[in-house]
Amino acid sequence: MKILVAQSGGPTAVINASLSGVVKRAKMLKHEIIGGLYGIEGILESRLVNLKMQNEEMRLLEKTPGSYLGSCRYNLPEPPNQIYDSFFDVINANKIDAFLYIGGNDSMDSVAKISMEAKRRKLPLLAGGIPKTIDNDLVKTDHCPGFPSAAKFLNVVASEFVIDSNAYSKVSICVMEIMGRDSGWLTASIKLSEEIVNGLNVITYIPEKAVTETQILDEVSTKKGMLLVAVSEGIKNTDGKYFSSIEIKDAFGHPKLGGAGEKVANIIEKIGKVKFVNPSFLQRSASHIVSEVDVKEAVMVGMDAVNALEKGKNAFFVSIERNDGNVYSSKTKIISIEGIGNKIKTVPADFDDLMLKAYVRPLIGKMPKYARRKI
């Protein structure tokens, strides 16, 4: 079998671990593995490379940030469309038997469209989607590779930011902006930094819950001592409008966001001293502080995607299921790609702090613990 694999969307610290899993398993099963450079966009231009990688290179790849094959944000139109002529010309010219796409919501939508069009054209191409997103917003999976490492990085740097900012006698209210357009999983995970710094209070503002300036001021003013306010870039007001966005949309029609955290910081300055930070792209590229669980699972979904192809599976998605038991473990489940793309898994309204911490803690793994004077 000749397998084409590509990466799409915003990278994560472990997206290349999934690629390593694909290559590793394909080699074990004696399949030929081809890489598509720059996602669908590059494939349409026939930018393909043979992935004859050695074991040492695959080992390094597992903890290399960014997209090794390059990425894109390319919105495939609904089929049938002439763009699919170009896509399948490349597939046929290179005698590709199967296609795997590592990505998030829009990438899974692309897999579904390609599968649909291949079926309409009566072509034997197998296609599958491998999850990747720090936003943790893909449906029908317990969590997404990339999220645990981003959550671990953010909890550690948030704790360090708070400690550094409160080195002076006057207390500072710390505000951090976190990625997350429509789901607040990553921002909500910052509650775990309360377990790193004794006495730290964390307030989180997420897209799932509308917020007002008055509410922010009231909530912040009631907190005493060391305080961190974690703000999702996608928070909305009670009118359903983003707190901060520029009047530009990306290739998928999503508003480009930015500045929500700084806006909240400016609001809070009315009642106290504020320090603000936006880790920006560092939260998805910090390979020096990855979750070991995340790396392991990212490799696992890559390998099991190839296993699914070996069994003749088509139009599938590799889901992660959490096993029962006191010690965390997981497994994959191959499910239909239908209903995955362009769906958003949001933080449930009844997910309290204890439930959130119990959900995230085993994914992150061991975190540091910092000393703090009581007086």
Tell me which residues are annotated as active site.
Answer: 135
User: Cα(375)–Cα(132) distance, rounded to whole angstroms?
Assistant: 44
For 46-60, letters b (16+ CB in 10 Å) and e give: ebbeebebeeeebee
- The neighbouring-strand residues paired with 242 are 236
In this structure, the number of other CB atoms found within 10 A of the CB of residue 220 comes to: 21
Euclidean distance between CA atoms 292 and 274, whole angstroms: 34
The token duo for 352 is 């309290």
CA atoms within 13 A on the CB side of 100: 34
Reading the block at residue 164, the tokens are 């550094």
Which residues does 251 contact at the CB level (< 8 Å), separation at least 6?
A: 73, 74, 75
Which residue is listed with tokens 């004696």? Answer: 30
DSSP-based helix, strand, coil % in the chain, nearest 5:
35, 20, 45
> Taking the CA atoms of the chain, what radius of gyration do you get in angstroms?
22
Q: For 53, how many CA atoms within 13 A lie in the half-sphere containing its CB?
A: 26
Q: Which residue in the block uniquely carries the two structure tokens 């503002």?
A: 205
Q: Among candidates 346, 341, 246, 289, which has minimal Cα distance to 9? A: 341
Of 87, 161, 98, 158, nearest in space to 316 by CA: 98
Q: Which of 136, 144, 120, 7 is nearest to 74 (CA)?
A: 7
Whether residue 263 contacts residue 232, with contact meaning beta carbons closer than 8 Å, is answered with: no
